[in-house]
Amino acid sequence: MNRLAKFWELAPRHKVLLVKAWLLLGCYRFAILTLSFKRLTAHLEHHRIASAPRRLLSNQRDEAKLIGQLVAGASRATPWQSLCLVQVLVVQRLLANRNIPGQFFLGVRMGVSDDQRDERALAAHAWLQCDEDIVNGAAGHEQFAVVSAFSWGGVDD
């Protein structure tokens, strides 16, 4: 009931964006299960290392942060798994539709698994950055070594 009350308190524009994010989370979850990652990211520029982020206008930065927060919130209300990669792909799409450039990263780390049985377990994480702000997937990202970066909308050299 608390989630529903919070939803109705949102501005109409934010409600629409939240519903759209929720639907896209389902679409991208299905896509991840059925398509290759290469196909999912074919429209993006792939980098082996991070590129210098393109500077954003203040309103673009605010919009990117809002979208990141709404997608994270919508992910908590899905009956399917909406982990970091699904969220990042949805945020990327919503930002690209608004001509807001950015980049997302895939990282890995070696370490103890969640069940504490395998010290050689490999963990992966995805996070998305616009300008200098990590707008989705920030929690714990510094523990992961970047193995790939994908950008859209141009980057400054």
DSSP string of 95-137?
HHHTT--EEEEEEEEEE--TTS--TTEEEEEEEEEETTEEEE-
Q: Kindly report which listed range (5-14, 64-73, 127-136) carries the lowest average pLDDT score.
A: 5-14
Lateral strand order in the sheet of 121-130: 45-47, 145-152, 102-111, 121-130, 133-136
- What residues does 146 pair with on adjacent strands? 107
Residue 86, pLDDT score: 98
**Does the pTM exceed 0.85?**
yes
pLDDT the model gives residue 157: 35
User: 148: which residues sit within 8 A by CB, 6+ positions away?
Assistant: 46, 47, 48, 105, 106
Angle between helices 58-75 and 84-97 (to 10 degrees): 140
pLDDT tens string 89-111: 999 999 999 999 999 999 999 87
Q: Quick one: pLDDT band at residue 113, thresholds 50, 70, 90?
A: low
Residue 126 has what pLDDT?
Answer: 97
